[in-house]
Amino acid sequence: MSADISDLSLVRRVQRGDKGAFDALVLKYQHKLVKLVMRYVRNPAEAEDIAQEAFIKAYRALPQFRGDSAFYTWLYRIAINTAKNAVVSRDRSPIEYDLDRNNTDESYDMQGRMKDSETPEGLVLTDEIRSTVNAAIDALPEDLRTAIVLRELEGLSYEEIAATMDCPVGTVRSRIFRAREAIDRRLREVFEGGLGRVEELG
């Protein structure tokens, strides 16, 4: 099976004018892309801005994507170039100091520049999501936990997991699905009940 088959089917839909299919690609790769960009910039909020710019550039360049390489390889290349350019332009721009500003203005400005991710609420929710997912993984039966960890942490294909766990590929698919369902049940509660920010998922 092609390693990129589902991405490619989504990409083809976007190329035919279906913007909703691009949402699915963004949802799938946003965390990986932000993590990648954070190798160049330390600030998570800035990394998110760069990742957003990279996604928009990728969308505009998608008519030229022929599928010769995997979509995520192509997307990562765009993100790396965008991050490098952002670092260069940031280094060139002078740092502005406003000495006349009083303490009140300064504190207000700091608050205004603070992104959602840096707000206590955002940080609490991220921590809550992490702890919920980790607790759910710990509660999984061993065969389900092994299957999902081999898939997500090691990046093994279903066939490789089947060889490792000495079971059919169909069983691997079922185990991974059941593991996700079990984790998702608890995660959904966090998103729907937790801080009322379900619409900001993703």
Partner 1 sequence: MNEELDSQLSAMFDNELPAAECELLARRLSRDEQLKARWGRYAVIGATIRAEGGVRLNAPLASRVSAAIASEPALAAEAAPQPRKRIENRWWQPVASAAAVAGVAAGAILWMRTQSSDLTPAVAQTTPVVPAMAALGNIPVSTVAQVNTGEPETYVVPRLPTHRRLVVPSTELANYVVAHSEFSSPVARRNLLSSFMATESGTAGASGGSEEITEDVQDDAKTPQ
Residues 109-138 that bind partner 1 (CB under 8 A): 116-117, 122, 125-126, 129-130, 133-134, 137
- 9 near partner 1 (CB under 8 A): yes
- Should residue 174 be labelled a site residue for partner 1 when binding is judged by CB under 8 A? yes
Residues from 24 through 43 that contact partner 1 (CB under 8 A): 24, 26-32, 34-35, 38
Q: Toward partner 1, which CB reaches closer, 16 or 92?
A: 16
3-state SS of the chain is: CCCCHHHHHHHHHHHCCCHHHHHHHHHHHHHHHHHHHCCCCCCHHHHHHHHHHHHHHHHHHHHHCCCCCCHHHHHHHHHHHHHHHHHHHHHHCCCCCCCCCCHHHHHHHHHHHCCHHHCHHHHHHHHHHHHHHHHHHHCCCHHHHHHHHHHHCCCCCHHHHHHHHCCCHHHHHHHHHHHHHHHHHHHHHHHHHCCCCHHHCC
Q: In the bound complex, what is the minimum distance in angstroms from residue 128's beta carbon to partner 1?
A: 9
For position 1 contacting partner 1 by CB under 8 A, the verdict is yes
Site for partner 1 contains 51 (CB under 8 A): yes
Stretch that binds partner 1, among 48-56, 78-86, 88-96, 97-105 (CB under 8 A): 48-56
| Residues 6+ positions from 138 with CB-CB distance below 8 Å | 145
Choose between 143 and 173: whose C-beta lies nearer to partner 1: 173
Amino acid at 140: L
Q: Which residue among 85, 114, 177, 189 contacts partner 1 (CB under 8 A)?
A: 177
Token pair 């710990």 is found at 138
- Tokens matching residue 166: 């000495």
Span 84-113, contacts to partner 1 by CB under 8 A: none
Site for partner 1 contains 171 (CB under 8 A)? no
Which one among 76, 180, 193, 196 touches partner 1, defined by CB under 8 A? 180
What is the nearest approach in angstroms of partner 1 to the Cβ of residue 99?
33
